[in-house]
Amino acid sequence: MIRAFRGEFLSVSRDPRTDPEAVRHEEDGLLVVEDGIVIARGAHADLAGRHAQVPVETLPGLIVPGFVDAHIHYPQTDRIASHGEQLLDWLERHIFPAEKAFVDKAHADAVAAFFLDELLKNGTTSALVFPTAHAQSVDALFEAALAREMRIISGKVLMDLGPEGLRDTLASGRAESEALICRWHGRGRLGYAVTPRFALASTDAQLADAGALLADHPDVLMHTHLAENLRECAEVEARFAGAADYLDVYDRFGLVTDRSVFAHGVHLSDRSCARLHESGAGIAVCPSSNLFLGSGFFDFGQADRHDLRLGLGTDVGAGTTFSLLHTQGIAYQAAQMKDERLDPFRALWLATAGSAALLHIEDRVGSLEVGQEADFVVLDPQATPLLARRTRGATLAERLFALQVLGDDRAVARTYLLGRCAWNRDKT
């Protein structure tokens, strides 16, 4: 089936810091979609004649590619906004008890359904997701994502040093991961990520086994946490005294490759940055989580000096919002704390094509180019009276920045998956 969408389109296919030509904007554009795939995009005046027979839906607002959340935990949905601790105590007090409940498949099904609907409501169409250590938590997420046709990457959490009720074993972690890869990787829009929780949650043997699993499956991702919070970093340093730094711990177990996605990287040595660059591994920057847990501020200046691959994550439940739109605004404020000025087009790139490249899905999603899947979001610059006042008569950059700073799910009028409307704010 062929259909077309007319409206104002904006996408940023590459990092505009180094490639200003990457910003693409059609004030009155046309996007032509066949069976969920973009087959043409350009100025309406240029394309309309060629596609005169195609039914056209006119969309109000600013249309951008669907957001790609490079790091989020679905089992923590119901523990968002849990008060009073930094990372390690927050995990013990709030998160591990909540994650234990995912031994129950019916509970996992219910949370996965709410979680994915919340992503769509916030304009997120693709995500790299932490489940729990229970294989059935992965099944629940992938089943729900398959039904919604969302592009989701996930993998059973490996944590043989975790608390009772949440820890796996070397053998069960490996066997369940292999079975899940076999069952889910490459099915529909789904992909698998080998997911050790972080260095402190696994034995050396399990970290080494994760490296071996990754080597056996070169087309899956590796997803973990890195250098997030100072106390965590101190405990890693104490346990792995022989390692050069936190990243080197993962490196020694074969976990640092161009398919590795490390969440946070708030406290990185220059040696780690050089090694990240050399390996092609990248960072999912999670500014709202870093503020919430008092972890610190990501250093964009250091990352750019080393030309690191970056994406943007909410990291719910440490993150305080499902909105990657609002997270772009928080990223701007976090960068300010290091005296860096995050450009609004670069922030949009981080949340779309940047994250997509980090997740190795940039050929499929992230910039609404011909050949890509037609996942997009209709943003409403008049979503609130304040946004309407701030964006009246504003330039494109000003409108985008106002949406990032002032916007959230209220500013997501519609979300499309494969050219099909999957969320309509005004119909629910």
> Which residue, 20 or 294, is less far from ligand GUN as judged by CB?
294
Query: Where do we find the tokens 């220059």?
Result: 270
Decide: is 298 part of the binding site for ligand GUN (CB under 6 A).
no
Q: Does 291 bind ligand GUN (CB under 6 A)?
A: no
Pairing of strands 151-154, 191-196: parallel
| Closest distance of CB 325 from Zn ion, Å | 20
Asked if omega into 317 is within 30° of 0 (cis), the reply is yes
Taking the C-alpha atoms of residue 197 and residue 228, their distance in angstroms, rounded to an integer, is 13
Residue 309: contacted member of ligand GUN, Zn ion, none (CB under 5 to 8 Å, by partner type):
none
How big is the chain, counted in residues?
A: 428
Dist. CA 174–CA 21, nearest whole Å = 45
87 binds, options ligand GUN, Zn ion, none, Cβ within 5 to 8 A by partner type? ligand GUN
Helix axes 105-121, 135-148, angle to 10 degrees: 40
Residue for token digits 């089936």?
1
- Burial class of residue 18 (count of CB atoms within 10 Å of its CB; 0-12, 13-18, 19+): exposed
User: In the set 177, 195, 206, 289, which binds ligand GUN (CB under 6 A)?
Assistant: 289
Single residue of 31, 153, 268, 318 touching ligand GUN by CB under 6 A: 318
Find the binder of ligand GUN among 100, 134, 185, 197 (CB under 6 A).
197
Interface residue with ligand GUN, options 102, 198, 246, 376 (CB under 6 A): 198
Q: Does 79 contact ligand GUN by CB under 6 A?
A: no
Q: Which of 135, 145, 148 is nearest to 104 (CA)?
A: 135
- Pick one of Zn ion, ligand GUN, none as the site partner of residue 349 (Cβ within 5 to 8 A by kind): none
| Residues whose CB is less than 8 angstroms from the CB of residue 142 and which lie 6 or more positions away in sequence, other chains included | 152, 154, 184, 187, 190
Contact of 22 with 16, CB cutoff 8 Å: yes
Q: Nearest 5°: CA angle at 137, between 134 and 139?
A: 115
Stretch of 87-95, 358-366, 376-384, 388-396 contacting ligand GUN, by CB under 6 A: 87-95
**From the CB of 152, what's the least distance to Zn ion, in Å?**
16
In angstroms, the CA 199 to CA 128 distance is: 19
Size of the site for ligand GUN (CB under 6 A): 11
Q: Which residue from 315, 343, 362, 380 is in contact with Zn ion, where contact means CB under 5 A?
A: 315
Considering only 168, 228, 299, 380, the residue that binds ligand GUN (CB under 6 A) is: 228
> Site residues (CB under 5 A) for Zn ion?
263, 315
> Site residues (CB under 6 A) for ligand GUN?
73, 87, 91, 95, 197-198, 225, 228, 289, 315, 318
